[in-house]
C-alpha cells in the first residue's frame, strides 16, 4: 500500500450503518501499540445506527450523511475527510454504495469487510445463500474496494464451518466473531505485506 506509517498512525475513518460491532473492534485494535492506524472519524448514513454510540464512548468525531443525493453527500463527505486529514477508510457494515469518483479519490485506501468467502455471495443475504446452497463452509473476507461491488483485491479470508442445524442467525453470529479478528489482521497485513 502507498500509505506510510512513519511515526504517526494513519488517520482512518470508519463508515457504518448499523450496530458497529466491527467499528468497536477496530477502535480497540487502533489503541494497541502494534496498530498502524488511528480511528479519527466515524461516518454513518443512518442517524439511528447504534454504532454511533462508540463515537461518544471513545470520543471520536461522528458525522451523518443522508446519501439521498449521493453526489452532494459525497462531495461534502470528501471535504470533511480532507478537513480531518483522513488518509484511509474502513467500511464496516456500511450499506451504501460509493461512487467511482469517490473511490478514485481514495484509490487503494478503502477496505471493506464482507460476510462470505468472496468471490462467493457478493451483495446481501450471504448467510441465507450459503445455507440454501448447502455449503459446508462460509466465512468472511477483507478486501480493497474498487468500482465493482465486493470485487476488489482480497486481503484476508477466514473460513467458518457450517454445522448441521445452522440457522442464518447462528451463522451470522459465528462469522461476526471472526470478522472482528480478521479486520485487524488484514490491516496489519496491508501495512506489513
Ligand atoms: C457485518 O457482518 C459485515 O460484514 C456486514 O454487515 C455486518 C455489520 O455488522 N457487511 P456490525 O455493524 O459491524 O456489527
pLDDT in tens, 77-134: 999 999 999 999 999 999 999 999 999 999 999 999 999 999 999 999 999 999 999 9
pLDDT greater than 60 at residue 3? no
Q: Which residues pair with 139 in a beta bridge?
A: 159
What cell numbers appear for 74 in the block? 459525497
User: What is the per-residue pLDDT for 71?
Assistant: 92
pLDDT greater than 90 at residue 64? yes
User: What is the per-residue pLDDT for 193?
Assistant: 83
pLDDT greater than 60 at residue 5? no
User: What is the per-residue pLDDT for 15?
Assistant: 98
What would the pLDDT profile of 12-23 be if each residue is shown by its tens digit? 999 999 999 999
176, 177, 183, 184, best to mutate for ligand 1 pocket (most atoms within 8 Å of CB): 176
Please give the biggest Cα pair distance in the chain.
51
End-to-end CA separation in angstroms for the chain: 9
Mean pLDDT is lowest, of 4-13, 41-50, 63-72, 124-133, for 4-13
* Radius of gyration from C-alpha coordinates of the chain: 16
- 92, 71 in Cβ contact below 8 A? no
State CA 165 to chain mean position distance. Answer: 29
| 92 C-alpha to ligand 1 centroid (Å) | 6
- 102, 82 in Cβ contact below 8 A? no
What would the pLDDT profile of 23-46 be if each residue is shown by its tens digit? 999 999 999 999 999 999 999 999
CA distance 174 to 138: 10
Percent of residues in the chain assigned helix, strand, coil, to nearest 5:
35, 25, 40
Nearest to 64 by CA among 91, 44, 84: 44
| 94 C-alpha to ligand 1 centroid (Å) | 8
Angle at CA of residue 82, ends 50 and 61, nearest 5°: 30
User: What is the per-residue pLDDT for 7?
Assistant: 66
CA distance 134 to 148: 27
CA distance 41 to 154: 24
pLDDT greater than 60 at residue 1? no
pTM of the prediction?
A: 0.96
Q: Specify the CATH class of 10-191 in words.
A: alpha beta
User: What is the per-residue pLDDT for 2?
Assistant: 46
> To which residue does cell 482480497 refer?
154
What would the pLDDT profile of 147-168 be if each residue is shown by its tens digit? 999 999 999 999 999 999 999 9
**Residue 94 CA: which ligand 1 atom is closest?**
10
CA distance 29 to 51: 16
Can 143 be counted among the known catalytic residues? Answer: no
Ligand 1: lining residues by beta carbon, under 6 Å: 16, 18-22, 51, 92-93, 113-115, 176, 179
CA distance 118 to 146: 14
Amino acid at each position: 500500500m502507498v500509505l506510510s506509517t512513519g511515526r504517526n498512525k494513519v488517520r482512518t475513518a470508519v463508515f457504518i450503518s448499523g450496530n458497529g460491532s466491527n467499528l468497536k473492534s477496530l477502535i480497540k485494535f487502533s489503541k494497541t501499540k502494534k496498530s498502524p492506524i488511528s480511528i479519527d472519524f466515524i461516518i454513518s448514513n443512518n442517524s439511528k445506527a447504534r454504532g454511533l454510540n462508540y463515537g461518544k464512548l471513545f470520543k471520536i468525531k461522528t458525522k451523518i450523511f443522508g446519501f439521498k443525493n449521493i453526489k452532494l453527500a459525497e462531495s461534502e463527505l470528501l471535504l470533511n475527510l480532507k478537513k480531518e486529514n483522513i488518509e484511509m477508510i474502513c467500511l464496516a457494515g456500511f450499506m451504501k454504495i460509493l461512487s467511482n469518483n469517490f473511490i478514485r479519490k481514495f484509490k487503494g485506501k478503502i477496505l471493506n469487510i464482507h460476510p462470505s468467502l468472496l468471490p462467493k455471495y457478493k451483495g446481501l443475504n450471504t448467510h441465507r445463500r450459503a445455507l440454501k446452497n448447502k455449503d459446508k463452509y462460509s466465512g468472511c473476507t477483507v478486501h480493497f474496494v474498487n468500482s465493482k461491488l465486493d470485487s476488489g483485491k482480497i486481503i484476508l479470508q477466514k473460513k467458518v464451518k457450517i454445522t448441521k442445524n445452522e440457522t442464518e442467525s447462528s451463522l451470522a453470529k459465528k462469522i461476526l466473531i471472526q470478522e472482528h479478528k480478521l479486520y485487524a489482521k488484514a490491516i496489519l497485513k496491508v501495512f506489513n505485506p
